[in-house]
Amino acid sequence: MIRALKCDFNKTLLSGGFWSAVFVTFLLCFTENVYVDGSTMQAFSALEALFRFDRTFMERYSSFCSLSVFKDTLSGYSAMFLPILASFPFVFSHCAERNSGNIRFSIFRGKRLKYYFSKFICAVLSGGLCVTLGVMLYGIFSFFAFPGIERYPYLDLEFYAPNSIPAEIVRKLLSSFIYGCVNTVPAFFLSAFCRNRYMILCVPFLLRFIQETAVKKILVNSRDDKVYQAVFPFEPYAPSRIPYLETDVMLYSTIAVTVISAALMLLGYIIIMECRTDKGE
């Protein structure tokens, strides 16, 4: 399986879908709000801030701090479109393999379970990696384009970066990787019975929107902390919060919901593929 996984992963990394996802993720990070004008309550994205405010103005407000700008990624439009972006590498490479007619040959040349698991691992890792690289590129850019944390001597580092600045950067990248991995799984499941690449990309996005709306409705209508703890693991953003959660019930429940959901979708993929006589051709 290691050889099959390595082959699939190399093909995915060299695909246009992978680097397109990296580039689009990088661009979407500029849409995140980094500053809110207290007088007008108007929010400014990172891109707007670069064109509207000069360096002197930015150094007056800590929200323009490069570390703060970097940590704000995956909180708005970028997080919303990740179910599509994270699936780009797998979907395009998988559809190319399907159109070439090599799936049946690949499955029967080796063990079927080896094929299924290698495809799943490759899809998850490539989705997480493309999102992480996009966020990393944006982080590198933000550390040059926005003032450094040393320009804000009044900031309390123990609160702002309790585990040191490098640890906060690693935590953000780990959060991006987990979020990208999780968002690839629904598209992987759909590929077992759907041939249309656009349906595979867009249906998870629609389901994520429905899920987010339902969770927000529950949280708005209930102010009970126990309800919040019970519902939080089912929120679409929850996996990205795993590196930030304390070691308590909420962390364990979030990990459990994420892992069980991925395992069920993998199982569903295997069952559907085993029931298909054409093996996905």
Please tell me the number of Cα atoms within 13 Å of 74 on its side-chain side.
Answer: 31
Summarised one tens digit per residue, pLDDT across range 160-170 is 777 788 888 99
Check residue 37 and give its pLDDT.
Answer: 83
Cα 156 to Cα 219: distance, rounded to the nearest angstrom: 31
Structure confidence at residue 266 (pLDDT): 93
Question: What is the C-alpha separation between 1 and 109, in angstroms, rounded?
Answer: 12
Q: How far apart are CA 244 and CA 143, in angstroms?
A: 22
In this structure, are residues 151 and 60 in contact, taking their beta carbons and an 8 Å threshold? no
CA angle, residues 273, 274, 276, in degrees to nearest 5: 65
CA count, 13 A, side-chain hemisphere, 185: 19
Q: Is the pLDDT of residue 265 over 80?
A: yes
pLDDT in tens, 70-128: 988 887 777 778 778 888 888 877 766 666 656 665 555 657 788 888 889 988 999 99
- 29: Cβ contacts below 8 Å, ≥ 6 apart: 46, 73, 74, 78, 134, 135, 138
Flag whether pLDDT at 233 surpasses 60.
yes
Least-confidence region, from 1-15, 18-32, 194-208, 243-257 = 1-15
Mean pLDDT across 11-28:
85
Tell me, yes or no, if the pTM score tops 0.85: yes
Helix (H) or strand (E) holding 70: helix 66-71
From CA 107, how far away is CA 116, in angstroms rounded? Answer: 8
* Dist CA 115 CA 98 (whole Å): 14
CA-CA distances (angstroms) from residue 60 to 41, 54, 146, 155, 159? 17, 11, 12, 12, 19
Q: Report the C-alpha gap between 165 and 251 in whole angstroms.
A: 23
